[in-house]
Structure 1
């Protein structure tokens, strides 16, 4: 006992820092990040309300529509408890007012709803004897959860016959939920398992749904939280489709005064099915702040979210540039910069890169996405296996396959068989590692002469009539200049054609080096030359 007392003396750990995440899809928000988001909210509120303190306002209402640990609601309650001390001097009355009239949540599962109530009410039942709220008459209080089922639609119609009776029944297979696109094969579960059919996005009319949950004329001033990130989409292996954008769009449709969300940053430049969401968010000039954590594991220790995470503040009454701030090892990188997010079709996440990119783009040259092939340049999937030698193949083609060389008859190529006769430069489609910065690595270009093809492990980065041109192009792809421009569009290991969209298609009349490229673009960099040189020497290019 004396040893235990000694080890805990002077240390009062936050229990919410000690809970393991449910999965990479449903991640608990660390209290430090939750408080950073609340600090940003408080600053924005003060800026738009003549310096007023949001935590001293007894009429502001808050909703976390996808609460897990309850950390946002708990920290909001703590801040309001301090801020309302003058307005409501009696502590019991003050806490009861906050919990019954200001703080609301929607649990994503039965377990997280119980956990959130325990965090906020100090009891898993809002009306229990240990609850710090005094006025609730229901167990849920203002943290609602009710099992929701998916709504299956589409699929393939099949007729099954009973082998004993011969009776025929119509069965639909491979159906998907019409709200979240979950596959019935993965999520059509019995009552004993969670459905992961989140109530907040499983509705056609979110305003009516909110009224059903919390009462008429319920409008939230602030919506804040960390939504579930993805669901399995039935693809190969661990294939998954993002769903966090659905939560964000539903929340914004409730027209809050402010919205603050933490999500993966992959939507900045990529992500399956996120093109329309990205376009909408980049063109929304109500986006007031983005704080970005590109380093793997930094924002959520131990959780691998490729491309990093970020949180943003959306201000309903704001119309202007968004202030971007990059965080690295807990410290801000440079000064925050206010800029319009829709300057390009993707969000260039590093502020110091923007003036460099603008100088390079001002030359208005064609770019490499016009040269680089799309997926499956010869129509062959990654798992295609050819023969181990060209023996007994009528028209043999050397095939660059997944970490090996195969041989295939030219007639077996499903697309672009004319490319076989060209000099080609190949780049792997997946480039990088699981290191802290996944965008900083590009593979070494592969020179493939006439008589060659490849599987979809590779992209054909360029085709040429001569070996000299192909060699010069490969040399260009090795430069830090190219790697830097690629990194601005490449947020994960995936490197499809679009990541080359910022790279100029320079004439192949010389052997390009970084020194020559600086000379070519230096006159157009002018005041950005110093930051350009600094960027070339930075870790992101190594």
Structure 2
């Protein structure tokens, strides 16, 4: 068996690690149930790769959590090894001491979390304390290290993590959040210094910090979790397993290179996907959901993808990590054959062919009609004049309309007198399904523009053609195709990548599209489970 029971004492006493609140959105504690699911996945793959061997019966494997918070991964690994090594090391005290001295290693992300992790693993905040169960460790840190490092500033940003100097250049004694694993040019050398000798870890597992503020209050946060993955790979473990935000599948600030590298890495063998983060971290909303993955150094191939909804795992599918012609990960297994049918019909390919490319030719892309955000140069605070004077332009803005003298418009002047569609820049922010994906579109008549709140789609030749475009946008199939390239609430131009152009001399409905593309009843049921009718509330 690969799954091991927890210490029997926990069958009677509540597990304190299920009760800890998150320190911040950056540092999300891992529930024990999640840690054990990840360890079960690891154990299953180890057995598969090692002729059925139970990983928890191996006394030579080294585990590292390079971003430990509560110590839950290290504690649960210790628990499993304690059971698994009973025959090889019968004496309990010697067995536990061997595990904690030779197999379990961690790096705290703050002083507080390092103390908490040691308390969880050693039963003492000091590894060499009177009550510590690790009798061979002779330092207070033991094998769970922490030091408040400093950032390396180049101009106004940290060389390693991109942290803002104005926010994180703090006085001594305050947490710098300069995490050890990612603040070094050579991770192997850094860990050798930390743990006192050359270290080769078989398994690296953890839940890294997710983001850092770029400037301060009210500004966009900079992802940081990908840097832990990149550095962990340089340590060349046999297995790498982490839980991270899933936004990297198709978006995320500064994640383009990371996404390209991940999707091109055939050693990424398992993805467990949770579109609603509450299914993993109850009470914590992480836009775009979360995932955990298994990277297997010595075993490359296709990836096994499983999507979870409200605690229920969907059907697992083994498939290519990156579909031909795509630059993002196609998230939903059930959606992939639908997408292939649409693209194949438009490009005259076989939807069942292994050589199918899901890239639409330039002339077939609906996204060519879609403007950039803020195309007219008016920000979201624009109010405009309350009353229209002769020659003024009507401006659709947040909360209503205002008016602007035509002479004051500096961008996209050619679109003023055209028919177009306006659609909210921010789509549905919900991560639970079904939801609407996009905000409700409306006709933009000649003589109208919009503020940052809306994007325009067009131009079109008449009101009727514009209304037909809206009928297309309102279909569930259209919005499913958008969802497959939409990593967050923002509905930028790129989210329309998989949407083909139709003949807009006619009105469109889901029934007409389903017939055109050969969508089956089971596929329709899946679409209905994901997408609400346009205009229905997501509440």
Work out which of the residue numbers 170, 181, 185 in structure 2 matches 1:200: 181
Tell me how far 1:298 sits from its aligned partner.
Answer: 1.6
CA deviations over 1:308-341 (Å, ceiling 9, x no partner): 11100000012211000011111112x2001111
Matches within 5 A, 1:215-226: 215-226=196-207
**Maintained 8 Å contact 1:149/1:195:** yes
Question: Unaligned regions of 5+ residues in structure 2, if any?
Answer: 1-9, 348-359, 534-539
What is the distance in 2 between the residues matched to 1:414 and 1:293? 44
SS in 2 for 1:504: coil
SS in 1 for 2:308: strand
What residue is the counterpart of 1:167 in the other structure? none
What residue is the counterpart of 1:210 in the other structure? 191
SS in 2 for 1:262: strand
Question: Unaligned regions of 5+ residues in structure 1, if any?
Answer: 1-8, 155-174
CA deviations over 1:79-106 (Å, ceiling 9, x no partner): 0000011111111111111001000000
**Maintained 8 Å contact 1:257/1:316:** yes
CA deviations over 1:394-427 (Å, ceiling 9, x no partner): x311111122211112222231111101001011
Tell me how far 1:435 sits from its aligned partner.
Answer: 5.9
What residue is the counterpart of 1:369 in the other structure? 367
Matches within 5 A, 1:426-441: 426-434=422-430, 436-437=432-433, 440-441=436-437
What residue is the counterpart of 1:462 in the other structure? 458
Q: Give the direction of change, closer, same or farther, for the CA distance of 1:122–1:428 in structure 2 (3 Å limit).
A: same
What is the distance in 1 between the residues matched to 2:493 and 2:514? 24
Tell me how far 1:75 sits from its aligned partner.
Answer: 0.3
What is the distance in 2 between the residues matched to 1:491 and 1:293? 13
What residue is the counterpart of 2:108 in the other structure? 107
Matches within 5 A, 1:270-281: 270-281=251-262
Q: Give the direction of change, closer, same or farther, for the CA distance of 1:209–1:503 in structure 2 (3 Å limit).
A: same
Q: Which portions of structure 1, spanning 4 or more consecutive aligned residues, are displaced by more than 4 angstroms? A: none
Matches within 5 A, 1:27-426: 27-154=28-155, 175-234=156-215, 237-333=218-314, 335-343=315-323, 344-362=326-344, 363-364=346-347, 366-391=364-389, 395-426=391-422
Moved more, 380-389 or 290-299: 380-389
What is the distance in 1 between the residues matched to 2:11 and 2:420? 66
Once superposed, what is the RMSD of the aligned Cα atoms? 1.7
Q: TM-score, normalised by structure 1?
A: 0.91
What is the distance in 2 between the residues matched to 1:540 and 1:397? 35
Matches within 5 A, 1:436-515: 436-437=432-433, 440-515=436-511
**Maintained 8 Å contact 1:424/1:470:** yes
Aligned length: 507
**Maintained 8 Å contact 1:475/1:512:** yes
SS in 2 for 1:289: strand
What is the distance in 2 between the residues matched to 1:209 and 1:440? 48
Tell me how far 1:514 sits from its aligned partner.
Answer: 0.9
Tell me how far 1:541 sits from its aligned partner.
Answer: 4.1
What is the distance in 1 between the residues matched to 2:237 and 2:458? 49
Tell me how far 1:116 sits from its aligned partner.
Answer: 0.2
Tell me how far 1:490 sits from its aligned partner.
Answer: 1.8
What residue is the counterpart of 2:529 in the other structure? 538
